[in-house]
């Protein structure tokens, strides 16, 4: 998973021609602010202001809720895997979002833009989104990726407080089952973490974080991969599904 700063570095490194092409495509579908022209012309000052604005927005609107959002997305992915296993692709597509309807062979999406997207035999990449449902570009356009992407909203209209504190905090049913610290560790692992990152997120010593991760791994809720001297923890489908059911209850 890329960090915010890594993504901002990629934004600043985007070739001018590619950036201009993307902005020209967007201008065909919506009005762009005046500074977009400066950005398209390669103005470094405009790019720096955009990057700082993204940092400011992330600090206010995303960072306070990140743990809960990451847990929600991980739980949704586990549910989609279960649906695919038990009901096939039909069940996945028919339950993506209330504004999406699967009417074979069409997936209908409520949108102010009356557009038809034709996959022409290509696959469709489904990506869970924390904010809104959208198709980032018209699959018919030449600059579209070979495999178009559909982002679908999984956060819904849940209360910000629940997301800020995590869905499975000290008062949650999961904490009652496995203990407050272990529930917090499981939640923090939802977005992937090394042992040291896990310790910082939860406020534990590295030894304690490693011990909790080991117990969760033995229970089949967490998987651990070693890269050099670093251990990286992620949820198993069972672990993510446990978070999903804890949220639902």
Residue 136 pLDDT exceeds 60: yes
Whether residue 213 contacts residue 195, with contact meaning beta carbons closer than 8 Å, is answered with yes
Q: How far is CA 89 from CA 104, 164, 231, 235, in A?
A: 11, 33, 34, 23
Ramachandran quadrant class, 150 (left: phi over 0; alpha: psi -120 to 50; beta: rest): beta
Of 3.40.50.2300, 1.10.10.10, 1.20.120.450, 3.90.25.10, the CATH number of 168-248 is: 1.10.10.10
**Are the C-beta atoms of residues 37 and 19 closer than 8 Å to each other?**
no
How far from chain centre, in Å, is Cα 208?
28
Q: Pick the residue with more confidence: 70 or 169?
A: 70
What pLDDT does 155 receive?
60
- Give the mean model confidence (pLDDT) for residues 47-53: 94
pTM for this one? 0.60
> Given this model, what pLDDT does residue 109 score?
86
Rounded mean pLDDT of 195-213? Answer: 91
> What's the confidence (pLDDT) of residue 141?
58
Nearest Cα neighbor of 23 from 46, 53, 5 is 46
pLDDT, tens only, 13-37: 999 898 898 888 888 878 888 889 9
pLDDT, tens digit, for every residue of 74-119? 777 777 877 887 889 999 999 888 888 999 988 888 876 677 788 8
Model pLDDT for residues 141-196, shown as the tens digit of each residue: 554 446 788 888 886 544 444 444 444 444 456 777 778 888 888 888 877 889 99
pLDDT category, 131, cuts 50, 70, 90? confident
- Structural domain boundaries of the chain? 65-153, 168-248
In the block, residue with structure tokens 């009005």? 31
The pLDDT score that the predictor gives to residue 12 is 92
Pairwise pLDDT comparison (197 vs 165), residue with the higher score: 197
pLDDT at 53 over 90: yes
pLDDT at residue 205, as a whole number: 92
């Amino acid at each position: 998973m890329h960090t915010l700063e890594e993504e901002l570095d990629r934004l600043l490194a985007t070739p001018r021609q590619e950036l201009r092409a993307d902005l020209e495509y967007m201008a065909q579908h919506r009005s762009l602010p005046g500074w977009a022209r400066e950005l398209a012309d390669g103005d470094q000052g405009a790019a720096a202001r955009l990057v700082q604005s993204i940092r400011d927005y992330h600090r206010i609107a995303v960072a306070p809720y990140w743990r809960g959002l990451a847990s929600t997305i991980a739980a949704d992915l586990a549910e989609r895997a279960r649906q695919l296993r038990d009901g096939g692709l039909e069940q996945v597509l028919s339950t993506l979002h209330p504004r999406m309807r699967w009417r074979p062979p069409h997936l209908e999406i409520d949108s102010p833009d009356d557009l038809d997207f034709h996959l022409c035999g290509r696959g469709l990449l489904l990506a869970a989104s924390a904010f809104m449902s959208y198709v980032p570009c018209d699959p018919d356009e030449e600059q579209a990726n070979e495999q178009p992407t559909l982002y679908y909203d999984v956060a819904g209209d849940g209360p910000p407080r629940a997301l800020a504190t995590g869905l499975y905090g000290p008062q949650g049913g999961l904490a009652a089952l496995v203990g407050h610290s272990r529930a917090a560790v499981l939640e923090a692992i939802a977005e992937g973490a090394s042992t040291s990152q896990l310790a910082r997120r939860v406020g534990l010593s590295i030894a304690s974080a490693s011990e909790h991760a080991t117990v969760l791994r033995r229970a089949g809720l967490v998987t651990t991969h070693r890269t050099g001297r670093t251990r990286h923890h992620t949820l198993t489908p069972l672990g993510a599904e446990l978070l999903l059911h804890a949220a639902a209850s």
